[in-house]
Structures are given as structure tokens and as C-alpha cells.
């Protein structure tokens, strides 16, 4: 059985940004399923389960596109939680944000984000970045989460 294509989890509070990212990914020909989360807590709940009830993701794989400034739990905290979990740390996390603060970028890399892409205001550059991101995701062999 060939592993299924990873599901792309877009964590983005701005609906417009989410649509633009999704469109560019589709234009680039990515057929992956895409799920959209509007805040950090929502994606953590999805990945880790709510109220101690574990989420079942056995056999699935994910790629996380993560904004930094998010309501409730911010992107850095989401990244930290993912990377400090023995299973979830396998997930590639791509920080996708308007921030270009070098301290913030360093912090994300230290926490183990795979790629850091600044959302350029220039649409063409933005599209190009996301397109390359799409290729990257396709090439990436994402390990599935082990069932427990």
C-alpha cells in the first residue's frame, strides 16, 4: 500500500491569506487535501486531541503551514508543542508569515521548523514562494504518524 499524499494543514487566521495560499497551491498542481485552521488552539486540538482524548491520525501524514501571529495560541507555541512531541515532531512545519524579524526566524529554526517563508506583500513573489513550497511538499516523503 503506497502511503497517501500528506494532508496540508494551513494554520492561518486571515481568511484572505488562506484563500490565496490555497489557490496558489492548487494552481501549482498540488492535489493534496487541505485543511484550514483559524487559530493555534484549533490545530493543536486537531493534532493532539481535546481534553485528553487523543486524536487518531494513525497512518496519516501532515504538512503544517503555520502563521506566527495567531489568536489564542501563537504559531511559535504551536511549533514548540509539535516539536516537543515524540511523534508529532516528524511533521514538516513550514512557517509562513509576514514577519521578517531575524530573532523570530532564528527562534523558529531553533525550535525545528523545516522551512521559513516570509509572506511577501508582492503577490508574484508570494506565488512563486508558495509554488516552490508546493514542489517541496510533493517531493517530501512525509513519514506517517505511528498508530498507538
Partner 1 sequence: MANTEKSRATEAEADLAGRLQLAAIIESSDDAIISKTLDGVITSWNPGAERMFGYTVSEAVGKPMLMLFPPDRVDEEQEILTRIRRGERMEHFETARVRKDGGRIEVSVTISPIKDVHGRIVGVSKIARDITEQKRSERQLLDAVREMRDIRAALDEHSIVAITDAAGKITYVNDKFCSISQYSREELLGKDHRIINSGLHPKDFFRNLWTTIGKGGVWQGEIRNRAKDGSLYWVATTIFPRFNEAGKPLQYISIRTDITQRKADEADLQRFAADLAEKNKELETIVYTVSHDLRSPLVNVQGFGKQLNRACEKIQAAIAGGRDGQVAAADLKAPVEVAIPQALRFINAGVTKMEMLLNGLLRYSRLGRIAFTIQPLDVNELISEITAAMRFQIDETKSEVRVEALPGCLGDRVQTSQAFANLLDNAIKYRDPKRPLRVTISGAVRDGMSVYSVSDNGIGIAPDHQSKAFEIFHRLNPENGSGEGLGLTIAQRVLERQGGRIWIESQEGVGSTFFVALPTVAVPANAV
Binding site for partner 1 (CB under 8 A): 13-17, 19-20, 38-39, 41, 69, 71-74, 77, 97-99, 101, 119, 121-124, 126
**Minimum distance from residue 76 beta carbon to partner 1 (Å):** 11
Q: Which residues contact 124 (CB under 8 A, 6 or more apart)?
A: none
**Minimum distance from residue 74 beta carbon to partner 1 (Å):** 8
Is-contact 6 93, C-beta < 8 A?
no
Closer Cβ to partner 1, 16 or 31, answer by number: 16
φ and ψ at residue 79, rounded to 5 degrees: -60, -45
**Minimum distance from residue 41 beta carbon to partner 1 (Å):** 8
Grid cell at residue 112: 525545528
Closer Cβ to partner 1, 130 or 145, answer by number: 130
Going by C-alpha positions, the residue among 77, 73, 81 that lies closest to residue 42 is 73
C-alpha 134/C-alpha 23 separation (Å) is 11
Closer Cβ to partner 1, 30 or 70, answer by number: 70
Amino acid at each position: 500500500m503506497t502511503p497517501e499524499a500528506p494532508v496540508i494543514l494551513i494554520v492561518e487566521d486571515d481568511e484572505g491569506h488562506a484563500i490565496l495560499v490555497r489557490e496558489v497551491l492548487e494552481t501549482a498542481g498540488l492535489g493534496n487535501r487541505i485543511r484550514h485552521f483559524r487559530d493555534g488552539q484549533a490545530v493543536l486540538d486537531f493534532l493532539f486531541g481535546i481534553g485528553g482524548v487523543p486524536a487518531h491520525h494513525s497512518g496519516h501524514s501532515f504538512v503544517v503551514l503555520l502563521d506566527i501571529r495567531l489568536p489564542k495560541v501563537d504559531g511559535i507555541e504551536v511549533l514548540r508543542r509539535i516539536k516537543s512531541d515524540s511523534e508529532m515532531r516528524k511533521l514538516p512545519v513550514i512557517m509562513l508569515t509576514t514577519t521578517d524579524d531575524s530573532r523570530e526566524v532564528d527562534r523558529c529554526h531553533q525550535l525545528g521548523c523545516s522551512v521559513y517563508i516570509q509572506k511577501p506583500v508582492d503577490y508574484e513573489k508570494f506565488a512563486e514562494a508558495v509554488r516552490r513550497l508546493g514542489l517541496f511538499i510533493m517531493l517530501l516523503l512525509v513519514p506517517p504518524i505511528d498508530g498507538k
